[in-house]
Amino acid sequence: MISNIFAPVTKLHLGGLTSIGPATNVANSPDGLYIMDVDVQKLPNSDAVPKIAAACSDNSLKFFNRDKVEVLGSMTGHRNKITGVKFGNKNPHLCFTSSLDGTIRCWDTRTQGTEAPQIFTGYEGCSFTSFDVNCEDDVVCAGTELVEEDSYLMFWDIRSTNLLGAYKDSHSDDITQVAFHPTKSDSLATGSTDGLVCVFDIGKNNEQEALITTLNSESTVQNIGWCGANNEYLYCLTDVFSLMVWDAVESSMLIKFTDVRESLKSDNCKIDYLVDCFYHSTLKSLLILGGTNEGELSLLSAGRDRLHAIHSLPGAHTGIVRCLHWDSQNDVLVTGGEDSIVSVWRNTDMDNALKISDDELVIIAANQQPKAPVEEEERDENTTTQESKQRRDRRPRMVRSRQPVTGRTPYGRGRGGGRGGPFRR
């Protein structure tokens, strides 16, 4: 029964993989190359093949052809670990990265080199642990590690790279997650080691007014994201394998699993860790990717009372998988891990349509020279339309100094006990 319900994801199979370097099981070993984060270009109304961007543990940014998983090029410039990578939403040829070196860099994927056209910097001594770009591509926000007694959310104007301001009172420890709403440019969710998930309206005058609600995960926040048919829900994964989904409007808890591994025992599904979640719009369901230390992956679905193992993804990874990206436009799942492998999982029906066979899997050795980037349309000029002027006039209003803001939104504002949500029975 479950197999029939979840047919769109049970047809996912390995469509290609690439090894970009020697793998190691030793953390921070100079001999190993981890994939820290991945993202996929959104190319609406285009026949071009999207690129995959992968942030690597050697502080480089690598690009791949999504269909054949071939290396297209590499960019370097960060002096410390890259903590996130995002393609632009309006301009998919721009790619942003955050780093513990205290910078966010904006790269043009149609060029190669070590110089990013735009570099965003914040307060001295701050390291960026996470970031995101809003849906209009006009504001970037990054979270920091704890600096003395403060952890910051910093905001920049993307066009000018000017620091607009910062929030500092809502979290009391390292900020681990930053996630703008997919369609509401002023709506922002953040997560932290302090266990809190905060939701802001950054169009308000100050941090106190901007903080809409505070939710408590009761443990270090590992991942957060927007989900649901209208992205009205927030999911949260923690470092102790718990999963929560809240109604972000009502601030009410919809589901909570304190230990995902216990919930899966009846399915004989072994899970050593959780990678992340993604929302499947066709199924109207929140899906979770879990894995083993040996690289075996399982897709899980969140029911009301427990999780269900619905599909396994074997044969690609040999170590811990750190990150995923779900390409909802093409039903493609991209994963990256500590084994230095980037894998692409495709829907069988789509593969048949593209006439891609298993014989076309591409495995590229670590020492292979990357190919030159594919040719794309010429770079757009920075023309300024009336619409973009209106967006720039609507700047988020922040705290512009390190001085504390008095007052904050009351903790635990939600009413609790909500029903419904992005899951099946």
Question: Which H or E run contains 261?
Answer: helix 260-263
- Condensed to tens digits (0 to 9), the pLDDT of residues 303-327 reads 878 888 999 999 999 999 999 999 9
Q: What percent of the chain has pLDDT over 70?
A: 78
Q: Can you give the pLDDT at residue 267?
A: 78
Kindly state the helix (H) or strand (E) to which residue 15 belongs, with its residue range.
strand 12-19
Cα(10)–Cα(115) distance, rounded to whole angstroms? 42
pLDDT above 90 for 210: yes
Cα–chain-centroid distance for residue 335?
A: 12
103-108 and 118-121 beta bridge pairing:
antiparallel
3-state class of 279 per DSSP? strand
pLDDT of residue 110: 86
Instruction: Please write the tens of the pLDDT for every residue from 129-153.
Output: 999 999 999 999 999 999 989 999 9
Least confident of 41-55, 199-213, 320-334, 402-416: 402-416
- Dist CA 139 CA 7 (whole Å): 38
Look at the alpha carbons of 280, 49, 323, 224 in this order and tell me if their dihedral is positive or negative: negative
How is residue 340 written in tokens?
Answer: 């230095």
CA atoms within 13 A of residue 359's CA, in its CB half-sphere: 1
What would the mean pLDDT of 281-298 be, rounded to a whole number?
Answer: 95
pLDDT band at 123; cut points 50, 70, 90 = very high
CA atoms of 236 and 225, how far apart (whole Å): 7
Provide the pairing of β-strand 321-327 with 332-337. Answer: antiparallel
Residue 268 — pLDDT band, cuts 50, 70, 90?
confident
State the burial class of residue 151 (Cβ atoms within 10 Å of its Cβ: 0-12, 13-18, 19+). Answer: buried
8 neighbors 301 (Cβ within 8 angstroms): no
> How high is the pLDDT of residue 27?
41
According to the model, what pLDDT value does residue 225 have?
Answer: 98
Alpha helix ranges (H) inside 102-222: 207-210
Q: Identify the residue whose tokens are 């409007």.
A: 249
Q: Name the burial class of residue 4, with classes exposed (0-12), middle (13-18) and buried (19+) by CB atoms within 10 angstroms of its CB.
A: exposed
**Is residue 47 a contact partner of residue 100, using CB atoms and an 8 Å limit?**
no
Average confidence (pLDDT) over 220-231? 97
CB 317 within 8 A of CB 337: yes
Which H or E run includes 408? none
What is the pLDDT confidence band of residue 259, given thresholds at 50, 70 and 90?
confident
What pTM does this model have?
Answer: 0.81
Closest CA to 5 of 284, 346, 349, 422: 284
End-to-end CA distance of the chain: 12
Instruction: Answer whether residue 376 shows pLDDT above 80.
Output: no
Q: Which residues of 401-411 are buried (b: 16+ CB within 10 A; e: fewer)?
A: eeeebeeebee
266 pLDDT tier (thresholds 50, 70, 90): confident
The Cα-based distances of 355 to 65, 305, 352, 359 in angstroms read: 17, 41, 5, 11
Whether the CB-CB separation of 234 and 191 falls below 8 Å is answered with no
Tell me the one-letter amino acid at 337: G
Q: Is the pLDDT of residue 374 over 70?
A: no
- Residue 422 pLDDT greater than 80, yes or no: no
The Cα 271–Cα 289 span in angstroms is: 10
